[in-house]
Homo-oligomer: A and B are copies of this chain.
């Protein structure tokens, strides 16, 4: 299975794969060589058939009675998720959230290499955030175009989100990881993935309210 044979798979499957990877990684460190879907499902409170189908999309194959080789499954997931050949990215909005993302080493291992940051605040321009240079937003087009960057991380204030997204697209960005609460209007060819922290928070609040005020 190589990167050009990417199968269409559901967003839900895509969301579970990193969890399998994390679990398998932990199992690998304990020296475990094989693992069944039954076992993975039990650990993560999922349905075994679902795990089996999810792993199937990555191209991993298991053996009856034995299960999957842990290292093979890990490799298949990494390959499928593109963790072996990271996308170069730029980040616009070097505020607190942007800085936190720049500093997170996990992304480099998970398919995202942030080459440069951009900010409208001239006080930040010219500085570095953990080794990552900060440029003025006016340099965005030039750098994205020159470095052939495909991914843009959007961590600006919500009001500026659409405008910056437009500039990213103009410069040649093909995928936007949108961490602002704004819903972006983009051409169909552009891939947008919204993180929506406030939506996630809404789910938590509602589930808590539903649960009610139980005695403690």
Residues of A within 8 A of B (CB): 3-4, 6, 8-9, 11, 14-19, 22-23, 44, 80-82, 87, 95-97, 99-100, 103-104, 106-107, 110-112, 148, 150-151, 158, 172, 174-175, 177, 181-183, 189, 191, 193, 195-212, 214, 216
14 A–B pairs (Cβ distance < 8 Å), ordered by A: A3-B209, A4-B212, A9-B206, A11-B203, A16-B199, A18-B181, A18-B199, A23-B183, A80-B206, A82-B206, A96-B100, A106-B181, A110-B202, A193-B200
Q: A18-B199, A22-B182, A177-B204 are in contact. List 7 more A-B contacts (CB 8 A).
A: A15-B199, A18-B196, A97-B104, A99-B100, A193-B201, A193-B203, A195-B195
How far apart are A194's CB and chain B's nearest CB, in angstroms? 8
Bound-state Cα–Cα, A174 to B208, Å: 8
Q: Of B81, B172, B197, B199, which contacts A206 at CB under 8 A?
A: B81
